[in-house]
Amino acid sequence: MIPNAVSVIGAGAFGTALALAFARAGREVTLWGRDGARMDAMAATRDCAPYLPDIRLEGEITPTADLALAGGAPLLVMAVPTQSLWQVMKDLAAHLNRDAVVISAAKGIERETGFFVTESMRDAAGNHAYGILSGPSFASDIARGLPTAIVLAMREEEQAKAIARHLSSPGLRLYHSADIRGVEIGGAAKNVLAIAAGIVSGMGLGESARAAIVTRGFAELRRYAEAHGARPETLMGLSGLGDLVLSASSAQSRNFALGLALGGGKSIAEANPSGKLAEGVFTAGILAETARRKNVEMPIVEAVSNVLDGKITVVEAARALMTRPLKGE
């Protein structure tokens, strides 16, 4: 029997949307955010602005800035950016129950260490049952209760299956898997490939070119994931191909929107006036580096990394990709 309480750590758009979905599943949800004034205001008004304007908190959701209160839940879902995950987990570690289950909804690779998200959490907080939640999903869709399907991967598939049932609601369907690495890599790599797709669209190269980038990018994702022992069927599913298709086709995706702006001639600073960079910006370099270590060929990822580092222009990147030697598919 899985306890009814769940804490969502991170009260941005995605964390708040997940809290709403879990509440609709009948769970008692604690939603943690670091801004105490904002969490107090959310508790008083039930308003989800500024991240989810026109959405109100429903059901049994308790906003708080008290990490000890949130950390005592038997089940925790981490909805913080990948590059912040280790530190938040370190702060949370003292408050975790010994048998706590901790699931990450972050999509990326820690650029300083090369850790995947479950590795980062374990390094920060020690031995617990860890999982990864990923798949094609926009926060606004989940918050509004629109049909969305994602994947929960844990080492013990029966545990993943039970928790997936526990957290599923009429609008949010959770599938289960034991392929943690495959789900992690799908979520991380698709962010970088979505930037590439956005660049192609921003340059006005046409839908045929974007389709080619997405397809060849997916081949790179598969090669990289398989080199890390991922299952092919995971990559063809929601957390691989599904997430890539969504992220590489809509300006709702922060990564695609960034690429769109870069392809249109803007600098990274101009493309991100808010300063909140897309996860793919942080992931591109470490993804390219770890691919080289594994002797995995990822020319599209390399091109995106070089563009973001200012080593080449988007025009030079496109020319380099189009002049690569022809080969069989």
User: Could you tell me which residues come within 8 angstroms of residue 210 by beta carbon, excluding any fewer than 6 positions away?
Assistant: 197, 200, 201, 248, 249
Residue 277 has pLDDT above 90, yes or no: no
Predicted pLDDT at 59: 79
Whether residue 329 is contained in a domain is answered as: no
Predicted pLDDT at 274: 65
Q: What CATH number is given to the structural domain containing 158?
A: 3.40.50.720
| Range(s) of the domain holding residue 207 | 183-322
At 243-259, the pLDDT tens digits run: 999 999 999 999 999 99
Amino acid in position 68: A
Whether residue 120 is contained in a domain is answered as: yes
Q: pLDDT class for 268, splitting at 50, 70, 90?
A: confident
Q: What is the DSSP string of 131-180?
A: EEEESS--HHHHHTT--EEEEEEESSHHHHHHHHHHH--SSEEEEEES-H
What is the separation of C-alpha 303 from the centre of its chain, rounded to a whole number of angstroms?
21
Whether residues 201 and 283 share a domain: the answer is: yes
Domain stops at, among 137, 160, 178: 178
How far apart are the C-alpha atoms of 295 and 305, rounded to whole Å?
17
Predicted pLDDT at 212: 95
Q: What CATH number is given to the structural domain containing 284?
A: 1.10.1040.10
Number of structural domains (the chain) is 2
Q: In what order do the strands lie in the sheet with 75-78?
A: 61-64, 28-32, 5-9, 75-78, 101-104, 129-134, 148-154, 172-177
List the catalytic residues: 190
